[in-house]
Chains A and B, each alone.
Chain A
Amino acid sequence: MPDIWFFIEVLVGGLLSGIMYSLVALGFVLIYKASSVFNFAQGAMVFFAVLTFVGVMELGLPFWAALPVAIGVMVLVGMATERFVLRPLVSQSEDTLLMATIGLSFVIEGVAQLAWGVDVRNLDLGIRDEPINWVMDKTGMLISQLDITAGIVASVMVASLALLFSRTKVGRGLRAVADDHTAALSIGIPLKHIWMLVWATAGVVALVAGMLWGARSGVQFALVWVALKALPVLIIGGFTSVPGVIVAGLLVGASEKVVEVYIGPKFGGGVEVWFPYVLAVLFLLVRPEGLFGEKIIRRV
């Protein structure tokens, strides 16, 4: 196989996992914009969401029935979180809100395991994790069907969220809420509806992310740490920027794979585990607001 095909294979693999990082990071950005809190419980929500989905399927429901049930549950979880955890703490400091979401993550993790047990489960989406034949025949590249499907689903999701939260009425409302609560209220934006909508959306994003990841690596507690992969993406992309985290997710996904394959062996492998964080630290040094984040200007 020519080197260039091999490089493209690595790159495509990286971009496909990258778009999934973007998806998880997007959940953070939406909540950060609406409630100005880094939602520590996002990982727990991913775990809870996919566990609920698998649990409902185990009760005997087919895929297409289990999906709306799981979506409904996640919408409720998101809205309940906003209503009972965040809203009573409105106008508290960001530290207080962060502590609340850390507490929430323990509650959600606990409830998930209480309800559905602690076993590692398989999630069979009916798509095989095998290379696509005709691509392999033509170019020799090994590109998994599951990866392609996950990439497409994540892209569609990311694109529609990006559109929803930029060009539409809801999007303008969200931007206004992110900037100034009082002013947003005065022009007639229903603050509570926007908050509820964003948290419900974050719940659904968590479900999709959990399903895509769960199909690949099993539905298990480790899914909680998927959220940690979003952290470098957020730092690079900027906590408040939807396009920022999309680009950053792709950047992180592609670069970690390329570095792993070409430079990894020199370090004995395993580079992709820490490389994104190094990249994030470099960004913090050079461009702390991220690629597209709001520039932080302090007047003296």
Chain B
Amino acid sequence: MTITVPSSILQSAERAFPFGPPVLELESISLRFGGVQALTNISFNVLEHEVRAIIGPNGAGKSSMLNVINGIYVPQEGSITVAGERLSEMTPTHAAHLGIARTFQNIALFRGMSVLDNIMAGRILRTHATFLEVALQLPRARREETENRAVVEEIIEFLEIEHIRKTPVSRLPYGLQKRVELGRALAAEPKILLLDEPMAGMNIEEKQDMCRFILDVNDHYGTTVVLIEHDMGVVMDISDRVVVLDYGKKIGDGTPDEVRSNQDVIDAYLGVAH
């Protein structure tokens, strides 16, 4: 199934944030799990303020790729360069400190907490007050709390989830949980936002909403977005450039139009006579 995104929410020709230099560069990444070769020699880059998609059939290695960027998996070969800083090994904590936030394919929210607390949790790296400062309610602790609340309220308004602010997330329908997860990632004010299948399992309306939020985030905050998506139609409509993976190898890279006319990509998606 493909959906079309109404042209009104597509990016206009002139961008608020024109592309900058590469903010994320992956060089010759190879990842193995025992005897399984998940990724083979993959290189691509992501420009500042770009919406970059990673697509591919099931099992192509898309989520592995995202997990490498985020430091959950450590590749056997290759290097990651974030904003000019070359790293031989990334950890999730380091990634968060570098301004990389993410969402998960199978929603990973703090199920015992309310929507507000979940999004507040995303502010954790923006909080510096120590135990004593909080205990004595010293100025920094109070100021941070106010700042954090202000940012979180802005995100809640932006994602149009004011009405469920206090609801425990486990009670929310799937589409809204995905939105809260996006909110938590945004609360960190990330430079790079990784979205693992943000529209998986959604109905058409929810997908359109999500597309709008992703483009708005990119447009308002200039956030660089790297997203994995199954739905070709959506990907082609909202991304600036697309990487195509198949069986852990890169088979295509370019603008949506270039990728669409790439014979390898067509073969991978539609199958090919052997």
Contact of B262 with A by CB under 8 A: no
Asked if A188 and B97 make an inter-chain contact with CB atoms under 8 angstroms apart, the answer reads yes
For B72, B104, B108, B129, the residue with the greatest tally of chain A CB atoms inside 10 Å of its CB is: B108
User: Within residues 181 to 202 of chain A, which ones have a CB less than 8 A from any CB in chain B?
Assistant: 182-191
Q: Which residues of A contact B (CB under 8 A)?
A: 160, 163-164, 167-170, 172-173, 175-176, 178-180, 182-191, 294
B188 nearest in chain A by CB position: A187
Q: Which residues of B contact A294 (CB under 8 A)?
A: 112
Asked if B129 and A175 make an inter-chain contact with CB atoms under 8 angstroms apart, the answer reads no
Asked if B124 and A173 make an inter-chain contact with CB atoms under 8 angstroms apart, the answer reads yes
Q: Which of B72, B93, B112, B120 contacts A188 (CB 8 A)?
A: B93
B194 nearest in chain A by CB position: A186
Q: Which residues of A contact B102 (CB under 8 A)?
A: 186
9 A-B pairs with the lowest CB-CB distances in the bound complex, closest first: A188-B96, A183-B108, A179-B110, A185-B92, A188-B125, A168-B134, A169-B127, A190-B93, A182-B108
Q: Which of A164, A167, A172, A178 contacts B124 (CB 8 A)?
A: A172
CB proximity of B69 to chain A, nearest CB, Å = 12
Asked if A188 and B188 make an inter-chain contact with CB atoms under 8 angstroms apart, the answer reads yes
Q: Which residues of B contact A169 (CB under 8 A)?
A: 124, 127-129
Q: Which residues of A contact B51 (CB under 8 A)?
A: none
Q: What are 13 A-B contacts defined by CB distance under 8 Å?
A: A160-B135, A170-B131, A172-B124, A175-B112, A176-B110, A179-B109, A179-B110, A179-B112, A182-B104, A185-B92, A186-B92, A188-B96, A189-B93
Q: Which residues of B contact A (CB under 8 A)?
A: 70, 72, 92-93, 95-97, 101-102, 104, 108-113, 120-122, 124-125, 127-131, 134-135, 184-185, 188
Q: How far is the CA of A189 from the CA of B188 in the complex (A)?
A: 12
Q: How far is the CA of A170 from the CA of B188 in the complex (A)?
A: 17
Q: How far is the CA of A169 from the CA of B102 in the complex (A)?
A: 20
Q: How far is the CA of A52 from the CA of B127 in the complex (A)?
A: 37
Q: How far is the CA of A184 from the CA of B108 in the complex (A)?
A: 9
Q: How far is the CA of A265 from the CA of B133 in the complex (A)?
A: 51
Asked if B129 and A180 make an inter-chain contact with CB atoms under 8 angstroms apart, the answer reads no
Q: How far is the CA of A187 from the CA of B101 in the complex (A)?
A: 7
Asked if B104 and A168 make an inter-chain contact with CB atoms under 8 angstroms apart, the answer reads no
CB proximity of A78 to chain B, nearest CB, Å = 18
Asked if A185 and B93 make an inter-chain contact with CB atoms under 8 angstroms apart, the answer reads yes
B132 nearest in chain A by CB position: A168
B130 nearest in chain A by CB position: A168
Asked if B121 and A186 make an inter-chain contact with CB atoms under 8 angstroms apart, the answer reads no
Asked if A168 and B121 make an inter-chain contact with CB atoms under 8 angstroms apart, the answer reads no
Q: Which of A167, A180, A185, A188 contacts B110 (CB 8 A)?
A: A180
Whether A164 touches B131, Cβ cut-off 8 Å, given contacts A176-B124, A187-B184, is yes
For A169, A176, A184, the residue with the greatest tally of chain B CB atoms inside 10 Å of its CB is: A169
A173 nearest in chain B by CB position: B124
Q: Which residues of A contact B128 (CB under 8 A)?
A: 169
Q: How far is the CA of A178 from the CA of B122 in the complex (A)?
A: 15
Q: Which of A179, A182, A189, A190 contacts B111 (CB 8 A)?
A: A179
Q: How far is the CA of A188 from the CA of B101 in the complex (A)?
A: 9
Q: Which of A160, A172, A180, A189 contacts B109 (CB 8 A)?
A: A180
Q: Which of B109, B129, B130 contacts A183 (CB 8 A)?
A: B109
Asked if A163 and B109 make an inter-chain contact with CB atoms under 8 angstroms apart, the answer reads no
Asked if B112 and A172 make an inter-chain contact with CB atoms under 8 angstroms apart, the answer reads no
Q: Which residues of A contact B184 (CB under 8 A)?
A: 183, 187
Asked if A183 and B110 make an inter-chain contact with CB atoms under 8 angstroms apart, the answer reads yes
B137 nearest in chain A by CB position: A167
A299 nearest in chain B by CB position: B170
Q: Which residues of B contact A187 (CB under 8 A)?
A: 96, 101, 121-122, 124-125, 184-185, 188
Asked if A172 and B135 make an inter-chain contact with CB atoms under 8 angstroms apart, the answer reads no
Q: How far is the CA of A187 from the CA of B120 in the complex (A)?
A: 11
Asked if A186 and B70 make an inter-chain contact with CB atoms under 8 angstroms apart, the answer reads yes
Q: How far is the CA of A186 from the CA of B113 in the complex (A)?
A: 17
CB proximity of A219 to chain B, nearest CB, Å = 31
Asked if A163 and B93 make an inter-chain contact with CB atoms under 8 angstroms apart, the answer reads no
Q: Which residues of A contact B97 (CB under 8 A)?
A: 188
Whether A180 touches B108, Cβ cut-off 8 Å, given contacts A186-B101, A186-B102, is yes
